[in-house]
Structure formats: C-alpha cells, structure tokens
A and B are shown apart, each in its own frame.
Chain A
Amino acid sequence: MKIWVLAICSVMASFLGVQSNANRERDFEHGRFSVFVVAGLLMTLIFLLSVYGLVQLAMMYVQ
C-alpha cells in the first residue's frame, strides 16, 4: 500500500515539476517501475477528466 501512496505523491510532484533529491533517491532505491507506470497513467487520466469537468462547468455558466 505504502509503495502506491509514495508513487502517486512522486507523480504529483512530477506534474508540478518540483521534487526533492531525498525523495528521488528513495524512489530509485525502493520504488518499482510498473507501479510508477500505472500511477502515472492513473494520474494522467484524473488530470484529463478534471480538465474535461472544468470545461463542462464553464459551459454550464453560459447556457
């Protein structure tokens, strides 16, 4: 479980573009590649859905 939470935190940090060196080293020592791939895809999906949702929300305001 913890490995997933940490991976998602790191993916979020990568979306922001800021990560500490300590976390980077932790990820490279204890992280699993497949977990990062799945977490990355998941977060991308959530990002796309929230952009879609925001557009829908904006459209609601004009109609």
Chain B
Amino acid sequence: MTKAITLAISLIAAPASADWQINMNQGVTALSREIFDLHMLIFWICVVIGVAVFGVMFYSIFKFRKSKGAVAEHWHENTTVEVVWTVIPSIILIAMAIPATATLMDMYDTSEADVEIQVTGHQWKWRYQYLDEDIDFFSNLATSRQEITNEAAKNPNYLLEVDNPLVIPANKKVRFLITANDVIHSWWVPHFAVKKDAIPGFINESWVKVEEPGVYRGQCTELCGKDHGFMPIVVEVKSEADYQQWVSDQRAMKLAMAGEASKEFSMNELVAKGEGVYNTACAGCHQPNGQGIPGAFPAITGSTIATGAIDTHVDIIINGKSGTAMQAFREQLSAVDIAAVVTYQRNALGNSVGDLVQPNTIKN
C-alpha cells in the first residue's frame, strides 16, 4: 500500500521537477516576453474570476442544500443584480483589452526593419528570399530517411533540422513577408512568438528582433498535405559580424556555383551528386528506391520519361507538370543539380540508359 502511494506521488512529482513545461513559452524576444506577460495577466484574471464564481456557486450549493431544509425562492427578475453581473464583466473585458491592444499594436508594427525576408511555403519546404541581398534558397528537411523509417535511432532534433537554415542577425529588426506557392501553410517559431499563415496570393507580415545568437526551431502549423510534418523551420541567429560573414559567404558560393555550371562533369560525378539531390528534393514523392507510390506518384524506375528522350525528362523537372504535384524545379535547383538528378534518374534506381546531360546545356 505505502509502496503504491510512493509510486503515485513520484509519478505526479516527477514531471513537475523534471524539465517538463506545459505553460506557454517565454521566448527570446522582447515581444515574445510581452506576449507571455499579457497571457499570464489574463490567465490570473481568469483564475480569480473562476475561483470567485465557482466558490460562490459551490458554497451556495452546499450551504443551502435540500437536506438542510432549504426552499427555493420563486421570483422573476432582479434588474439591479442583472445589471451588475453584466456591467462588471464588460468592465473587466474592456480593461483586459487595453494591454492586449498595446501588445497587438507592437506585433503589427513592422515598420523600420533592418532586414527584410520573404518566406514562401511550398509543398513541403520553405523558401527564403533576402530582399536586399540577392540571397535566395530553399530549406529542406535534413533528417535521414533511416531515422524516419525507424532503421536508425532518432536524434534529439528529429524532424526539426534542415539543410539550409534561415540566418538572421541578432539585435536587428527582421521583417518577414510570408506567403505560399501552392496551398496554405503557416510559419511558426515558438521562441519568437510568431505564427503567421502563409497563403497563396496574400502577403502576411511579421517581425522579430532576437537578442541572443542561437538556433531556434519551428514547424509548419497548417495542415498542408502528405509531408506537412516534414517541413520544419530552423533559424540561426548570428551576431552582426557573423551575419555579415555569412552574407559574403553566400555571395561567394553563388559565384562558385555559376562557375560550376559551365564545367564539364563525368557520369560518376553527376550520378553521385544527383543521388543527394534526389534524396532531398524528389524522394519524398518518388520514394528513395524510385518505386513511387502507385496511384499518387509515378515510379522513376522504368518510367517512360526517365528512360525516354532526355529533353522531355529535363523539361518535366524544370517546368513541372501543371495540375499535378510534379512542381517546376526551375527555381529550386541549380543547373548543376538538375543535370545531376536527371543523370542519376537515368542511370540509377534500376534504370541504365547510359546517357548524361551537362549543366551548361540546361537553360532554366
């Protein structure tokens, strides 16, 4: 018996003492703390009201119970009481609206931003375009297939890791212009207290100013199809100097990539590179083994397009096929990536056409 009680107590107590949080996140920005404080203020007001209302109710039920001979009064109305219990809640609501309005105004004040980034939701990845910097990239899930299919142990950032994180400077006001390319997504980073719907044809605005450099993770929070849970968000906040370094690295990388596009590659180089591209950009639908999903995504193995004329094969990847989930990869993949993935699909996954395409012949 005592054993059972001790066990019960430790079960209740353990989560409380461990790192187990059920309250809202305080976040890492002045705004997120303001939102948190507002939330706590309203929460405590609700607690006081709840205790008062239920206290009076339970007390009355107990004190005036039938077994003690209580008899119900019969009366129709009491205007004074009714006015009191209508006016008091109204005053409380209006009083709560004052701090809430102040916080909302701060949330919507996207003016005077130092950095502006367009965030576009795609099925199922995010695209980040730095409006002042000519930086533009896609951010794909980086968790390995083996972890997803339980063939490998899951790491602590399982499904919360990407190949190219969004990088922003600390202590600068960063404005996000959030939209989507296909269906409605939602961009959410809990530590920033920012959650904004990404809607095709609309641009929603939001902003952050993060004080401390660090890595913050989030997810798409609007059900957007098969891989909704596989399009995480990772934001790397860097110090001003590190951020500038990153920006110049990106520029250098872009130049290097332009140089690569005019190089001649061997079959092996293209296939090796293509495997990586295929696994991040295509395997979600066409499957890692190239078998596709019957009825939804065609197999690449033995596909008439992937084993037919190479121009048609290149074309469907650059331009997609409108009205289907096969999207245009023109903007997502470099010429080198496209050449590599085409060559890979033709000479791996059970296909052996034997030809290849060079990046310099890809016009995207």
Contacts and interface: CB of A to CB of B under 8 A. Distances in A.
Interface stretch (A2-10, A17-25, A28-36, A42-50): A17-25
A1 interface: no
Contacts of B87: 16
B105 A18 contact: no
B60 to A, nearest CB: 22
Contacts of B86: 16-18
A20 B79 contact: yes
Interface in B81-104: 82-83, 86-87, 101-102
Given A16-B83, A62-B109, A21 B77 contact: yes
Nearest to A21: B77
Contacts of A61: 102, 105
Interface residues of B, number: 11
B83 A18 contact: yes
B77 A20 contact: yes
B74 interface: no
Contacts, number: 20
Contacts of A58: 101, 105
A17 B79 CA distance: 11
Nearest to A55: B101
A52 to B, nearest CB: 14
A17 B87 CA distance: 10
Contacts of A20: 77, 79
B103 to A, nearest CB: 11
B66 interface: no
B76 interface: yes
Q: What bracket does the count of chain A residues touching chain B fall in?
A: 10 to 19
A39 to B, nearest CB: 20
Interface in B22-47: none
Contacts of B83: 16, 18
A28 to B, nearest CB: 16
A18 B79 contact: yes
A62 B105 contact: yes
A21 B105 contact: no
B75 to A, nearest CB: 11
A10 to B, nearest CB: 13
Contacts of B109: 62
Scoring A18, A21, A61, A62 by chain B CB atoms within 10 A of each residue's CB, the highest score goes to A18
A19 to B, nearest CB: 8
B76 to A, nearest CB: 6
A21 B76 CA distance: 9
A20 B77 CA distance: 7
A19 B82 CA distance: 9
B329 to A, nearest CB: 44
A17 B112 CA distance: 45
Contacts of A17: 86
Given A58-B105, A62-B105, 14 more contacts: A16-B83, A16-B87, A17-B86, A18-B79, A18-B82, A18-B86, A19-B79, A20-B79, A21-B76, A21-B77, A58-B101, A59-B105, A61-B102, A62-B109
20 contacts: A16-B83, A16-B86, A16-B87, A17-B86, A18-B79, A18-B82, A18-B83, A18-B86, A19-B79, A20-B77, A20-B79, A21-B76, A21-B77, A58-B101, A58-B105, A59-B105, A61-B102, A61-B105, A62-B105, A62-B109
Interface of B: 76-77, 79, 82-83, 86-87, 101-102, 105, 109
Interface of A: 16-21, 58-59, 61-62
Of all A-B residue pairs in the complex, the 10 with the closest CB atoms, nearest first, are A18-B82, A20-B79, A62-B105, A18-B83, A58-B101, A18-B86, A16-B86, A21-B77, A17-B86, A20-B77
